[in-house]
Structure 1
């Protein structure tokens, strides 16, 4: 692949690194020169996407556009944005640049459709902003998939677990036990798959009992 990928990162920094590592590890090569070129802007100055949606605090869109423009000017062929919640502003960002931005929400729905093997009940673990904006609820509206959304109490635990990851706590995340209890509860209700609808969630997968 000769194209250069631009990663619009910083949301959060560990999730950005996780994506870059996945791209490298999943690329079948035998030497440095065969790897896919990556340009990463780990912009930690982008305001909280969750606070903007939940509490009408400072919008991240100006900083998101600025970051995308830096990547475009650097010559990337397309942009990936490892933050589900930030996709709430994807169209606003795309209007200001010519470089295409891959839609992670749409790609996730497409992947689920082609890989669930008859499993029709899926648990969404995402930020409170993603849940409130109904990014995945709307994306799955026309699909034969039942999306389970945590209760308000459970969502607070999910959000807290995400915040812990952003602070650097993964294996020692204090909400892992409660998160696993939530998953067990939904497994008993027939859930057989999970969407890590926040890019911090996959970092917890090694410590989550069912990470399918």
Structure 2
């Protein structure tokens, strides 16, 4: 028997489906019954975590807390959320559900430290970058980010990807931004937005490439199959 995984998804839907595909691929299974049971709330109606106006997006925490409580009520025993920015509401999610949440940001920061890098580039929203700055600093690592206008260009590209643009142009633009971080001194690169790996892979990056969603999927498998204990509440 494995632990039942509850997934807070829909931020965005394509990234969530990509995460579920990785979860399935990494599960050592010979038959249907060997796979992890997953309870999913794929809710694209969660308020925009990246809304620029003051106070906008503040309702995201309340919606995520409600989703987490629903998953707990449905039988989930541990939670995962394939959205970096939404981890700003991690404490609220844990309090509302009474369940452990597998930390996506912490897992990626640890993986970055394990590469031996001292400066880590992150492609992510402003909210996600704030979280990564804190987690990386706790490990003695520096954060490398895009400049103001280039960060805005990243956000524009992010919303295009959310709208279904997986074109060669989108791939080229994302690879270019990754290259800018490496040129600025990044010794490892974290895809700190779950849309980024939809158009970016390790083949596009000349330093160790860490997909936070991929790392989360791997850790979900290890925890749900009880190869490692769930995180504390």
Same fold by TM (over 0.5)?
Answer: yes
Greater relative CO (CA pairs within 8 A, separation 6+): 2
User: Aligned to 2:122, which of 112, 121, 124?
Assistant: 124
1:207–1:173 Cα change, 3 Å? farther
User: What is the total number of aligned residue pairs between the two structures?
Assistant: 206
1:16-27 correspondence to structure 2 within 5 Å = 16-27=16-27
Work out whether 1:192 is the aligned partner of 2:191.
no
1:152-163 correspondence to structure 2 within 5 Å = 152-163=148-159
Q: Distance in 1 between matches of 2:202 and 2:132?
A: 24
Task: Give a deviation string over 1:142-198, Cα, whole Å, max 9, x none.
Answer: 22322101101111121122111211112x164433332232233334323211111
Aligned to 1:167: 163
Aligned-partner SS, 2:146: coil
Aligned to 2:32: 32
Task: Give a deviation string over 1:16-63, Cα, whole Å, max 9, x none.
Answer: 111111110011211111111111110111100111x75321421111
Shift of 1:130: 2.0
Gaps of 5+ in 2: 210-233
Q: Distance in 2 between matches of 1:156 and 1:206?
A: 22
User: Aligned to 2:174, which of 176, 179, 188?
Assistant: 179
Aligned to 1:149: 145
Shift of 1:207: 9.0
Q: Distance in 2 between matches of 1:106 and 1:207?
A: 20
Aligned to 1:201: 196
Kept in 1: contact 2:120–2:142 (CA 8 A) = yes
Gaps of 5+ in 1: none
**TM-score of the two chains, using structure 2 as the length reference:** 0.81
Kept in 2: contact 1:124–1:195 (CA 8 A) = yes
1:209–1:100 Cα change, 3 Å? same
